[in-house]
Amino acid sequence: MNDIVKLGTRRQKMEAKERAILQAARNELSQHGFEGAKMSAIARAAEVAEGTVYLYYRNKRELLDAVVSEFWQTLTTGARVVTGQHETTLDKLRALAEFHLKELVKDFDFVGFTVRTRETGTLDSPSLTPIRAYVAVFDEIFRQGQDRGTLVTASPLWVVRDLFYGTLEYASRTLHLHQERRHEEVVDHLIELIQRCYGADPSQAQVGALEAIEQRLQSIERQLTNQ
């Protein structure tokens, strides 16, 4: 065997081990929460000695930070895919909102873990990087909307961003507590709000709303006649 292959296998083994640990940590974390997650259980699940975990991550916090980072990275990828399937700014925003809310409700605890990670975090904390990358998805869409002239606002972007993500994050908590409430309602409301407040043409917004109602009416009529 030549050097490169040998070197490669060793690296590959380590990388596989790291992935296994991260995956085990993710499972343990979502099953038992932050305090409940045991390093011993993670090591066992990853089929690794307890000490080995500490070769890859300095301590428990760092390992769980890594899990949270991975979570946001995955979210970023998903958000780009989903928003990429739409053309207009408002469609993109709606898709992003739906995706965001759905994922937050699904992996609800990770929001809490993220907050915890930030607890002692400073402005340049590395644990913030993946979150920055994620919110950038919104920023890009919104800026594009402004460039295209479909969105108009005097407010700085960060204010609108707080509104967007803040509403959705808080709503995810509400939805998590009251399972019966509907996700769509939150998204509909938020998007309509953005449309009304930042949409370039308010009269156009109402036309859009009328069209949406028309469609839903037709859907209802269809359901009624099918019965």
Residues forming the site for a copy of itself (CB under 8 A): 33-34, 109, 111-112, 115-116, 118-120, 123, 128, 155-156, 158-159, 162-163, 165-171, 173-174, 177-178, 181, 185-186, 189-190, 193, 196-197, 206-207, 209-210, 213-214, 216-218, 220-221, 223-224
When binding is defined by CB under 7 A, the residue of 13, 19, 132, 216 that contacts DNA is 13
The total number of residues written for the chain in this structure = 227
Amino acid in position 61: R
Question: Of 18 and 107, which has the nearer Cβ to DNA?
Answer: 18
Stretch that binds DNA, among 3-11, 72-80, 89-97, 175-183 (CB under 7 A): 3-11
* Torsion angle (degrees, nearest 10) of CA 16, 22, 23, 28: 150
Element housing 134 (H / E): helix 129-148
The least distance separating DNA from the CB of residue 20, rounded to whole angstroms, comes to 10
DSSP 30-87: HHHHHHH--HHHHHHHTTS-HHHHHHHSSSHHHHHHHHHHHHHHHHHHHHHHHHHT--
Q: Position of tokens 């590959």?
A: 12
Residues that bind DNA (CB under 7 A): 3, 6-7, 9-10, 13-14, 17, 37-40, 48-52, 54-55, 58-61
